């Protein structure tokens, strides 16, 4: 059984939204589909076999809008001519079978189209990729990131499970919502970026507009209304919102494996670098992690990163074969083991 393709889905969506009566009729079909599925549960029926029955060799041609039931004939003695009553009973059974096959066909196609379809996309350490969703939206995933996409005829729901992603939403009647941690981001036809950090979420808008809400707090006021060139940093623990302005080109610098940060906590900078590199940037104390920095570095240039950090007067930096350790000069350095 083939599912509806993207064009057919769009046509059916247009038909559903053209009239409330269309939607009522469709919901009635789904209700019947559920009842029929319950009634047929446990019966050994192969819908694809029913649909292919008219192609069997030697089968009598069936009307174009019905499918003959694939009933195997058992060898046996020549049967006596059937009475008119038997003929009428056979015709009723055959008609019931044809109707059942047609109903199964319609139920399978409609239920398959309406059932939520979920797909998960992820990237490994150091890997970046772009994916096109079923609605033709494009998502760029940073390294060590994961996204779950669920599409229905009435909604587009995405969940950023970890990491960072840029979203270029395709025009569609269905609203697009992205859940990221404890936040819900509603797209108003736009291009935007979401990054999840250990202690913070960052949302930046390159084009259009997004609304940001608490995901699980109905009735709470909107956290942020962001337009092009605007950003919001939202503390994961307190929910405190920090609004700012961003250069649109800098928002997408990570697509080219550059780490661009402006007044960003060092802890966030470390997470960005660690997605791309085997050499880890480790923060020794909270004061160092909270230090705000501004810079523009190549994501794989460990030497430049180390030199940049060494230039910060309040930081102490040490390096080993597989890590760069950073701490505040006021804090006690970790004991070597």
pLDDT, one tens digit per residue, over 308-335 is 999 999 999 999 989 999 999 887 666 5
Token pair 């810079």: residue: 295
Domain boundaries, the chain: 6-71+84-114, 117-255, 257-337
Q: Which of 322, 320, 324 lies closest to 308, judged by CA?
A: 324
Contact between residue 240 and residue 234 where contact means Cβ atoms under 8 Å apart: yes
Contact criterion met (CB below 8 Å) for 23 and 16 = yes
Write out the chain's pLDDT in tens, 337 residues: 455 666 766 677 777 667 767 767 766 776 665 555 555 445 555 544 554 554 554 455 545 554 454 545 455 555 556 566 655 555 554 554 555 444 445 544 454 444 568 999 999 999 999 999 999 999 999 999 999 999 988 889 999 999 999 999 998 888 899 999 999 999 877 899 999 999 999 999 999 999 999 988 777 889 999 999 999 999 998 889 999 999 998 999 999 999 999 999 999 999 999 999 999 999 999 999 999 999 999 999 999 999 999 999 999 999 998 999 999 988 766 655 5
Strand, helix or coil for residue 98: helix
Architecture per CATH, domain 257-337, reads as 3-Layer(bab) Sandwich (3.55)
Measure the CA–CA gap between 304 and 299, rounded to whole angstroms: 10
Judge if pTM exceeds 0.75. Answer: no
* Inter-CA distances, 65 with 5, 19, 71, 208, Å: 21, 26, 19, 47
Burial 147-159 (b: 16+ CB within 10 A, else e): bebbbebeebbbb
- pLDDT score for 47: 47
For residues 175 and 186, the answer to whether their CB atoms sit within 8 Å is yes
Computed on alpha carbons and rounded to an integer, the radius of gyration of the chain in Å comes to 30
How far apart are the C-alpha atoms of 66 and 51, rounded to whole Å? 9
Q: What are the tens digits of pLDDT across the range 240-256?
A: 999 999 999 899 999 99
Q: How far apart are the C-alpha atoms of 122 and 160, rounded to whole Å?
A: 10
CA distance 157 to 121: 14
Please tell me the distance from the alpha carbon of residue 128 to that of residue 166, in angstroms, as a whole number: 11
Locate 3 and state its tokens.
């599912």
Torsion of CA 7, 12, 14, 19, to 10 degrees: 170
pLDDT given for residue 174 in this prediction: 87
Rounded to whole angstroms, how far apart are CA atoms 169 and 166? 10
CATH number of 117-255: 2.60.120.1440
**142/148 Cα distance (integer angstroms):** 14
- Distance (Å, whole) CA 21 – CA 290: 57
Residue pair 63/101 in contact (Cβ under 8 Å)? The answer is no
**Tokens describing residue 246:** 């961003």
Structure-token match 């056979």, residue found: 90
């Amino acid at each position: 059984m083939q599912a509806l393709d993207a064009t057919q889905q769009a046509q059916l969506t247009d038909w559903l939204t053209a009239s409330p009566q269309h939607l009522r009729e469709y919901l009635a079909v789904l209700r019947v589909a559920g009842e029929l599925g319950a009634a047929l549960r446990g019966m050994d029926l192969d819908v694809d076999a029913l649909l292919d029955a008219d192609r069997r060799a030697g089968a009598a041609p069936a009307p174009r809008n019905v499918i003959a039931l694939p009933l195997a004939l058992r060898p046996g003695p020549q049967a006596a001519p059937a009475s008119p009553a038997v003929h009428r009973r056979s015709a009723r059974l055959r008609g019931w079978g044809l109707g059942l096959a047609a109903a199964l066909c319609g139920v399978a196609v409609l239920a398959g189209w309406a059932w939520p379809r979920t797909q998960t996309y992820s990237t490994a350490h150091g890997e970046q990729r772009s994916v096109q969703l079923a609605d033709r939206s494009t998502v760029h995933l940073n390294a060590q990131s994961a996204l779950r996409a669920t599409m229905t005829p009435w909604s587009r729901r995405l969940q950023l499970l970890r990491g960072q992603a840029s979203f270029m939403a395709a025009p569609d009647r269905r609203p697009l919502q992205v859940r990221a941690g404890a936040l819900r981001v509603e797209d108003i036809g736009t291009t935007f970026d979401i990054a999840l950090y250990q202690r913070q979420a960052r949302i930046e808008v390159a084009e259009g507009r997004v609304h940001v809400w608490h995901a699980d707090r109905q009735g709470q006021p909107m956290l942020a209304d962001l337009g092009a060139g605007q950003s919001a940093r939202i503390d994961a623990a307190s929910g405190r919102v920090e609004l700012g302005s961003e250069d649109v080109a800098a928002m997408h610098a990570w697509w080219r494996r550059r780490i661009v940060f402006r007044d960003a906590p060092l802890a966030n900078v470390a997470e960005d670098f660690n997605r791309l590199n085997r050499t880890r940037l480790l923060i020794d104390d909270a004061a160092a992690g909270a230090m705000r920095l501004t810079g523009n570095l190549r994501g794989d240039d460990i030497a430049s990163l180390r030199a940049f950090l060494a230039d910060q007067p309040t930081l102490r930096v040490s390096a080993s074969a597989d890590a760069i350790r950073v701490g505040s000069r006021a804090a006690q350095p970790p004991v070597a083991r």
